[in-house]
Structure formats: structure tokens, C-alpha cells
A and B are shown apart, each in its own frame.
Chain A
Amino acid sequence: MDLFTAGFASMMGGALLRSRVLTLLACLLIAGAAGIFLTENQTITATFYEIVPGLSFAVHIDRLAAFFMLTIAAVSFCVSLYSVEYINQYKHKGLLISLMNIFILSMLLTVAAGNTFSFLFFWELMALSSFFLVMFEYDNDKTRKAGLFYFIMTQLSTLFLFIAFSLLYSYTGTTSMEKIILQEKSTFLFLALFIGFGIKAGIIPFHKWLPYAHPASPSNISALMSGVMIKVAIYGLLRFLLVLPAELWWGLLILGAGTVSALLGVIYALKEHDIKGLLAYHSIENIGIIYMGIGLFVIFSHYNVPALAAMSMAAALFHTLNHALFKSLLFLTAGHVVHTTKTRNIDEMGGLIRQMPYTALLFLIGAMAISGLPPFNGFVSELLLFQALFNASAVHNPIIELVLIICLSLLALTSALAAACFVKAFGMIFLAMPRSAQKTHEASWPMLLGEGLLALACVILGIFSPLYLNSLGYALPNMMFIGGALLFSILFFFLLARANTRYCETWGCGLISQTPRMEYTASGFSEPIVTIFSTIYNPQKHVSKEFFDKSQTLVREGHVEFHLMRFFEEYLYMPIANAAMVIASRIDTLHQKDMGAYIAYVFIAAVILLLWVGWFA
């Protein structure tokens, strides 16, 4: 408890004094406190400041909250370590530091909130501070657009949460987190919570803000937002899902939304050439995987299979932690790459592995972890989820079993596509020859240290977590043995292959020397997949040519445009926006009058009120 207080205080101090050291200290303190807390089975409840009776700032920390606080604090620590050096490139350093502190603090306090009021308060604080951080490079047009988009979406999320919390209060008569227990059916409440948290988590179809906001913000902020902030939404969903009387279709809805997000997220990521946009789409994918775990938890609980329910919950929680680690690692390394190459387009990069070998290695670890390859942490959580799905027969309802099997195969497709996507990303950024003239340099050591800690966590969790999970009764393979044996034999063969080596240029098919234009591009790499999934992308090609002669044989100039359909933007967001515009313009005509008209409105309103009071109230 004292540790928590000290941590929060030093975070606050960091925000006020704009000190980077205090941020680091605070993260360390809170991570330590949460870590200790997790091992003990206790809860902390405290009320700090009561504004009016019934509305107070309160703290309630149990193990679920502590787990999320640990995740937030640990990732924030590494990100802050990275930021020590990274933020030197920005003009208003002090502002960035204090905003970042407020942002981290608000995330922690949202998770620690003891009642719905303080949850909503800190939630909004988190939304606002992250909005300012997204807008940090405000002189860029795209950033302003992204910021606005993000702001609207995040306010929409708060709106739905507000509805949900009002409903909750009207059902139970309390705002306190620990006292909320609901027995009656609460469809609307669940839907409001689902949409509210879904928007923040970036579940399809509410995902559109992620690929706008993440590329626009500074990379350390993207790491925080993608790594941790969307996890706060997961926490919120879990927190309320655990106390509501869950129904089967809730689980199916969450599972379905998760599967669709996972698959479409990775499919959209494959055609993305903006490195940070690509990572943002992968956040959607991974949130989808976490949602699948939560959905399975609800389904298995409904069919009364506690062991499998616990397994899927463990998968969801563990993947939450893992995704926080490897996604922030990827964003941080990508941030350095973007910073030195001055571009986010991976088609213009290439060959960076020679200038920045450590960054490349760290990115590779992140890429392997997110692709779910052994022996990294992403594999273990995906394995848990796969095992839960493999045991679908425990449900004893044929239709549900088959739905689970279909989800299983889609999950497999997702993880294989993720591997393809990261082969593309790593290959295009770091391998082969540079595709444009670049002057790049390796990251400085505090940055590497921050990234290195995250990478280390990925490896350690991947190798040692099965031991811990097996002690809880899961039958996972012994990754320590597999990892050790792998390392040993790889080293053996490497040493065997090392002798007698000669360097020579790649054969350029008869041309004298190789040029970067011979290399495969990112678009070329993902072309087969785009063709196979063309129903989803719906690619359209516009070709226009100008000719020298009338019979159109000699081409003077040609122009080709490729468009991929933005399904959700065209069929969901734009119609809603247009409808809002139409309604607004209708209302607008009411305002184009003189003062008499306004007084007439007041008169009409008064008459309606009188009627209401007299006859209906």
C-alpha cells in the first residue's frame, strides 16, 4: 500500500517537475508493489476524497487490478527508459514528459479505481492526455486529422460507458466496484459495456482510430497506447463481465468479434506499408486474440467446464501481458527506425541490419514473439488458447463445438498470416540492399536498454512460464528443454558451417551488378495474399494512358492507381457521419432566423413543458 502511494506520488511529481528520473522511479515502485501484491491474496480498498456524498475518488486493488497495474508499470518503465533519449528530438520536451506522466498515472488509476465514478473520471483523463499526445506533432495535417478522429472515437467510448454505468447504478444502487453484483438479465448494460470498451480496445468494427492515431503520435506514445492503453479497456471488460450474470450469446458475441478482429486485423496489416500503421493493425489482431480468450471463458463457464474456462482466461490474461511486451518493443524499435530514416514507408527502407544490428535483433525477437513462434512468449499464450479450443468437445453442444472448431481454424490462419506479415516487415526494413539513400545510425544505449529489457522479458516468459503454468496443472510442453536443445544444436551447426566461406555478389541474372530495384518490394511480397483474399480487399485498378499517335500504339505517359476498399469506412463510418450531417443541416435551418423566431421556440418549449406537467407527469 505504501509502495503504491509512493509510486503514485512520484509519478505525480514527475508530471509536475517534468522529471524523467521520477517517472522511472515511479514505474519501478508500482511494478514492484503490484508484483508483491500478486503473490498475496488480499485486496486494498480506500476512499480518498469525497466530492458529494456518493461520489468519491476511491481505490480498490485486487489481484486482477494488480496484474494489469504490473503490466502497465513494467511496460511504462521500459518505455520511459527509451524515452529518456528519444524525446530529445522534440521541441517541447517538458510538456511531453509531463503529459506522458499524466497519461501513465491515469491508466494506473483507472485500473485501480474503486468505484465507477473514479473509473470514468480517470478514463476520461486517460483519453484526454492521450489525445494531446497524439496531437503532439500538431503542425502536420495528417496528425490533426488523426487526432480529431481519435478524439471523437474515444469520446464515443466514454459516452457508452457513461450509459452503462448509469444503468448499473440504477440496477444496483451503488457505484462501488466491489459491491456490484447483478442477478437480473442485463442485455443493454452488456451491449453498452461491449461497445464502450470495444471502441477503446480497437475491436472491429470500432477499430478505425488505431491505424490513424498510432502512426501520428510519437513512437514512445504509440508504444504506450498500443501496448498498454488498449489493455485498460480489456481490464474494464473483464472487471464487469466477472460480476454480471453472463449469458451464452455474450460469449459468442465476444468470441465472434475477437475472431473477426484477429483475422481482418492481420489481413489489413499485410497490405499496409506504413510500418507504424502495420503495427497498429497487428494490435487489432492481438486484441482480437485476447477477446477470443475472454469469449471462450464465458462460453466454457456457461457450460460449466471450470478447468477450460480458467485455461482460456489464463490465455487471455497472459496474452494481454505478452502483447504489451512485444508490441511496445516493436513500436520502440520501429520508432528508432522511423526517426533515423525519416520515413515510415517500408518500401523505402532496406538493408538497415548492417547499420543497426542491435535494433534489428530486437525487432526480430519482437517479430517472432508476435508471430507466436517458439520459444517466445507469444507462442505460450497462443498455445493455451489453442489447447482450450482443441478441447471444444467438453461443451457437449454440437453447434457450439463446430463454431469453436471454425474459430480454431481461423485463429491458425491468423497466426500464420501474422508470420507472413512479419517476414515481410523484417525483410523489407532490415534485409537486402537499401532502397533509398539513408544516413542511419544505431540507437543510443538507453534506448537499446529499454528495448532490451522488453525483449528479455519476451524470452524469459516464453521459456519459463510453461514451468509455472504446469505447476498450476496445465499440460504445456517443457519449453526450457526445447529452448535449450534448440540453442545448443543451432550453435553446433553454426560452428560446423562456419569454415571455408567466401563473399561474392548476388547473381544479378547476367546484369553486371545488383541494384535495389531488383529486390522484391513489400507490395510484391504481399501480392499473392492480396489476390487470394481479393474478396476482402476488393482491389480496384484504374489505368489511364496517353498516346503519341491516334491508333494508340506508342505510350507517352501512363498512370496506374490501385485502390483497396476500406469496407468499414465506406459502409459503416461514412453513412453514420452523413446521417449526422443531414440531421445537423436540418437543425441548422432552424437557426437561420431572426430573434422573433427564437422567442417563438422558447414559447413552444414552454407550452410543451406546461402540457407535460399538467397531463403527463
Chain B
Amino acid sequence: MIDAAIKTIFVLLYVTVAFIMTRRDIISLISTYATQSFLLACLAGLLYMQERHATLLWLAALILIIKMVLIPSTIRSIQKKMKRDMEFAYVSPTGSLMLSIVIILLSYGALSHLLRELGLGQLFALGAITGVSFTMMGLVVIFSRKLVLTKIIGYLAMEDGVMIFSMFVAELPLIIEALILVDLFMLIILSTILALGMETTIEEVHKRLQVLVGEEK
């Protein structure tokens, strides 16, 4: 039963990445990311029911607080002007979905015998594949989106991939996970400041120009 639930969550997670790849609406992008984090927390919770590591529960709580609530609300509060991201580079959204099918196949092909040697169970192998392909798909988002803000969401998706991989294969100590999350939060703040900073400077230039126009009159 838990196995089936975990598998379903995997598929749903993939769907959220697919949405992150293709959506043009920034608000729904952010809420998709929040959903993804929620699913991740569920995953950690389910894994706790199977493994009984207290670390996993802590992780679930951390994800819920930081990734589901804090980061989306930060982005929302900073970013109010831009509504849509229509600009794509290198690959179209449809193309990146096709690309991701290839990525999943590739990561399976590359990892399958490696994981067999490690002697991991079916579910854990799936987790590893999901993690790796998530990271790759996040990369695709980063290079195919043009806006800085959406690039950040790509980075976040990539980070989720690392987290899934570590949950299922590497068993990173909690402290490192926490550090990653803190890192991430810092990065969000930094890049949004960067993105916003650029915009404010443009606005300032615009204001000055307006002043000039006024003086001419």
C-alpha cells in the first residue's frame, strides 16, 4: 500500500515538473512549486512510515515550513509585477517534455546496473532515477526559460531532485539537508534581489527621464 502511494507521488512529482516546464503563468508556477514541496513532504512522511527514521520526519517538517510556505510566499511578495513568462530559449515547452522522456530513459539506462550492484530495492532504485532525472529536468528549465525568476524555480526543482536522491539512496544526515535548505533560501533572496534590483534601476532611469521631459515643458 505504501509502495503504491509512493509510486503515485513519484508520478505526481513528475507532473509538477512538467508543469514547471510548460506553464506560462508565473502565479501558477509558484503554486505548482508549492504543490511539489508538499508532495515531497508527503514522500518523506511515507518513507518514515516504512523506515522509521526520525530524521525523515524532521525533514518533512522542514520541507513543509521552508519550501512550501516560506519560499513561495517570499517570491510572491517580492514579485508582483510580472504576470507571465512567455519567453523560451533553445527548446520549446513541448520539446522540453520530449527531452525529459529521453532524460528519464537515459537515467534509467545509466543507473540500472549501478543500482543493482548496490543491491537497492525496487522502490529505492526508482527514487534514485527520479532524483537524477529531476535534477536534469531542473537544468532544462534553467536553460530553456529566459526570466531570472523562472530560472530560480528551475533551480528549486533541481534541488528537489537532489533531495529525493538523498532520501532514497545516500541517506544524508539531517544537518546537511538543513544546510541545503538554508542555502537555498539564501539563494532565493539573493537572486530575487538581483532580479528586482535590475528592475528598480530601470524604473529609476525611467523616472529620471520623466523628470527631464517635464523640465523641457
Asked if A and B touch directly (CB within 8 angstroms), the answer is yes
Give chain A's interface residues, CB within 8 Å of chain B.
Answer: 398-399, 402, 406, 535
Q: Which 3 A-B pairs have the closest CB atoms?
A: A399-B109, A402-B105, A399-B105
A residues within 8 A CB of B101? 406
A residues within 8 A CB of B134? none
Closest residue of chain B to A532, judged by CB? B94
B residues within 8 A CB of A399? 105, 108-109
Closest residue of chain A to B92, judged by CB? A535
B residues within 8 A CB of A398? 108, 112
For residue B109, give the distance in angstroms from its CB to the closest CB of chain A.
6
Main secondary structure of the interface of B (DSSP, over half): helix
Closest residue of chain A to B95, judged by CB? A535
Q: Please, what's the 1-or-0 string for B112-131, where 1 marks a CB less than 8 Å from any CB in chain A? A: 10000000000000000000
Give chain B's interface residues, CB within 8 Å of chain A.
Answer: 95, 101, 105, 108-109, 112
Q: In the assembly, what is the distance between CA of A535 and CA of B98, in Å?
A: 13
Closest residue of chain B to A406, judged by CB? B101
Q: In the assembly, what is the distance between CA of A605 and CA of B158, in Å?
A: 66
A residues within 8 A CB of B109? 399
For residue B129, give the distance in angstroms from its CB to the closest CB of chain A.
10
Closest residue of chain B to A402, judged by CB? B105
Closest residue of chain A to B105, judged by CB? A402
Closest residue of chain B to A399, judged by CB? B109
For residue A377, give the distance in angstroms from its CB to the closest CB of chain B.
33
A residues within 8 A CB of B105? 399, 402
A-B contact pairs, 8 of them (CB 8 A): A398-B108, A398-B112, A399-B105, A399-B108, A399-B109, A402-B105, A406-B101, A535-B95
A residues within 8 A CB of B108? 398-399
B residues within 8 A CB of A406? 101
For residue A299, give the distance in angstroms from its CB to the closest CB of chain B.
17
A residues within 8 A CB of B95? 535
Closest residue of chain B to A403, judged by CB? B105
For residue B93, give the distance in angstroms from its CB to the closest CB of chain A.
13
- Extra inter-chain contacts (5) besides given A398-B112, A406-B101, CB under 8 Å: A398-B108, A399-B108, A399-B109, A402-B105, A535-B95
For residue B2, give the distance in angstroms from its CB to the closest CB of chain A.
22
For residue B131, give the distance in angstroms from its CB to the closest CB of chain A.
18
B residues within 8 A CB of A535? 95
A residues within 8 A CB of B112? 398
Q: In the assembly, what is the distance between CA of A503 and CA of B165, in Å?
A: 70
Closest residue of chain B to A535, judged by CB? B95
Q: In the assembly, what is the distance between CA of A402 and CA of B108, in Å?
A: 11
Q: In the assembly, what is the distance between CA of A473 and CA of B105, in Å?
A: 35
For residue B123, give the distance in angstroms from its CB to the closest CB of chain A.
15
For residue B162, give the distance in angstroms from its CB to the closest CB of chain A.
24
Q: In the assembly, what is the distance between CA of A406 and CA of B105, in Å?
A: 11
Q: In the assembly, what is the distance between CA of A402 and CA of B101, in Å?
A: 10
Q: In the assembly, what is the distance between CA of A402 and CA of B109, in Å?
A: 11
Q: In the assembly, what is the distance between CA of A406 and CA of B101, in Å?
A: 10
B residues within 8 A CB of A402? 105
Closest residue of chain B to A398, judged by CB? B108
Q: In the assembly, what is the distance between CA of A227 and CA of B59, in Å?
A: 66
Q: In the assembly, what is the distance between CA of A398 and CA of B108, in Å?
A: 9
Closest residue of chain A to B112, judged by CB? A398
Closest residue of chain A to B106, judged by CB? A399
For residue A242, give the distance in angstroms from its CB to the closest CB of chain B.
30
Q: In the assembly, what is the distance between CA of A51 and CA of B15, in Å?
A: 69
For residue B98, give the distance in angstroms from its CB to the closest CB of chain A.
10
Q: In the assembly, what is the distance between CA of A519 and CA of B144, in Å?
A: 41
Q: In the assembly, what is the distance between CA of A228 and CA of B95, in Å?
A: 38
For residue A409, give the distance in angstroms from its CB to the closest CB of chain B.
10
Q: In the assembly, what is the distance between CA of A402 and CA of B103, in Å?
A: 13
Q: In the assembly, what is the distance between CA of A406 and CA of B108, in Å?
A: 16
For residue A448, give the distance in angstroms from its CB to the closest CB of chain B.
47
For residue A293, give the distance in angstroms from its CB to the closest CB of chain B.
24
Q: In the assembly, what is the distance between CA of A406 and CA of B104, in Å?
A: 13
For residue B100, give the distance in angstroms from its CB to the closest CB of chain A.
13
Q: In the assembly, what is the distance between CA of A116 and CA of B109, in Å?
A: 41
For residue B116, give the distance in angstroms from its CB to the closest CB of chain A.
12
For residue A532, give the distance in angstroms from its CB to the closest CB of chain B.
9
Q: In the assembly, what is the distance between CA of A511 and CA of B204, in Å?
A: 57
Closest residue of chain A to B102, judged by CB? A406
For residue B115, give the distance in angstroms from its CB to the closest CB of chain A.
12
Q: In the assembly, what is the distance between CA of A189 and CA of B101, in Å?
A: 34
Q: Identify the interface centre among B101, B105, B112: most chain A CB within 10 Å of its CB.
A: B105
Q: In the assembly, what is the distance between CA of A399 and CA of B108, in Å?
A: 8
Q: In the assembly, what is the distance between CA of A399 and CA of B111, in Å?
A: 12
For residue A501, give the distance in angstroms from its CB to the closest CB of chain B.
46
